[in-house]
């Protein structure tokens, strides 16, 4: 057992404790994969990350991302939270941007005031869900009539998201998902707020395998931003609310610049200390 620095941060909320929690273990190069997985199950957070030395000169650090159910090649709120924790403990990027190495490749992050934003990696699968059986299952999972699903698309940038667009934010907030039907699916639902509202869209993320509903989700919002802006359903810069029904104040800032999607938000430090692993 070795003492290692650990940071617990709150991601995607302007109000501390209103976003999505993340545990970041620093100096984790000597940790085995089994230990990483067991500690992630123990924290029982949606994700726990491990900071390691990069394997390529272009990267400032490398990260491994674990849910209680296993390792992910990429995830959004862990990307922002890990970068913030690395910077807070003295990390200095080689260039103007922070460059993270993870399983999907190199992910640039930029600092704008008190926010961080990551450049969304390419979608691995981006196409309409066409299989009638899967569409019916999505509707059952969300307890909606199939006609309420305006559009359904694969938005997979690692975790395997399916995006679902519904009529409005009120429909999103009123969902009562059927968890028993959802095993193996990761569904992200989006609906527009009325013009003039604080936020442009409302988002919820349903994960049948480990956390049931994720409070605020960077990877999902990255895929949604690509989808919504490609189809003209959202402007090139907008704000998504997420976590409302869970008592959170998640705010995700999405911005499209040419063909790059930037996903950003606040990251607040909450706990800093050591862990024996």
Q: Count CB-CB contacts under 10 A for residue 182.
A: 20
**For position 180, what pLDDT does the model report?**
84
Mode of pairing for the β-strands spanning 61-67 and 98-102: parallel
- For the question of residue 47 being annotated catalytic, the response is yes
Averaged pLDDT of the chain: 95
Question: Mind listing the pLDDT tens digit for each residue in 137-157?
Answer: 999 999 999 999 999 999 999
Asked if 181 contacts 141 with a C-beta cutoff of 8 angstroms, the reply is yes
Structure tokens at 208: 């049948």
* pTM of the predicted model as reported, rounded to 2 decimal places: 0.94
Asked if 235 contacts 183 with a C-beta cutoff of 8 angstroms, the reply is no
Q: Which helix (H) or strand (E) holds 269?
A: strand 260-276
Checking if the pLDDT of 209 tops 70, the result is no
Q: Which of 33, 47, 71, 236 does the annotation list as catalytic?
A: 47
Q: What average pLDDT does this structure show over 75-86? A: 97
């Amino acid at each position: 057992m070795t003492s290692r620095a650990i940071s617990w941060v709150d991601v995607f909320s302007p109000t501390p404790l209103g976003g999505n929690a993340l545990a970041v273990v620093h100096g984790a190069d000597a940790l085995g994969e089994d230990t990483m997985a067991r500690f992630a199950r123990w924290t029982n957070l949606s994700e726990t990350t491990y900071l390691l030395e990069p394997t390529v000169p272009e990267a400032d650090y490398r990260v491994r991302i674990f849910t209680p159910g296993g390792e992910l090649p990429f995830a959004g709120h862990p990307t922002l939270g890990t970068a913030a924790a690395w910077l807070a403990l003295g990390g200095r990027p080689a260039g103007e941007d922070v460059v993270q190495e993870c399983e999907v490749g190199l992910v640039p992050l930029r600092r704008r005031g008190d926010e961080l934003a990551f450049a969304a990696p390419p979608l691995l699968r981006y196409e309409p869900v066409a299989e009638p059986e899967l569409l019916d299952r999505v509707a059952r999972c969300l307890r909606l009539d199939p006609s309420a699903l305006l559009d359904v698309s694969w938005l997979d940038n690692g975790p395997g998201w399916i995006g679902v667009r519904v009529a409005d934010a009120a429909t999103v907030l009123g969902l009562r998902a059927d968890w028993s039907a959802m095993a193996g699916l990761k569904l992200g639902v989006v609906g527009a707020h009325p013009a003039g509202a604080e936020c442009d869209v409302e988002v919820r993320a349903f994960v049948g395998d480990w956390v049931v509903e994720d409070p605020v989700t960077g990877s999902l919002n990255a895929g949604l931003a690509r989808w919504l802006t490609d189809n003209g359903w959202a402007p090139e810069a907008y704000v998504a609310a997420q976590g409302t029904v869970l008592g959170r104040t998640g705010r995700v800032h999405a911005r499209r610049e040419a063909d790059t999607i930037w996903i950003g938000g606040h990251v607040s430090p909450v706990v800093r200390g050591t862990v024996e692993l």
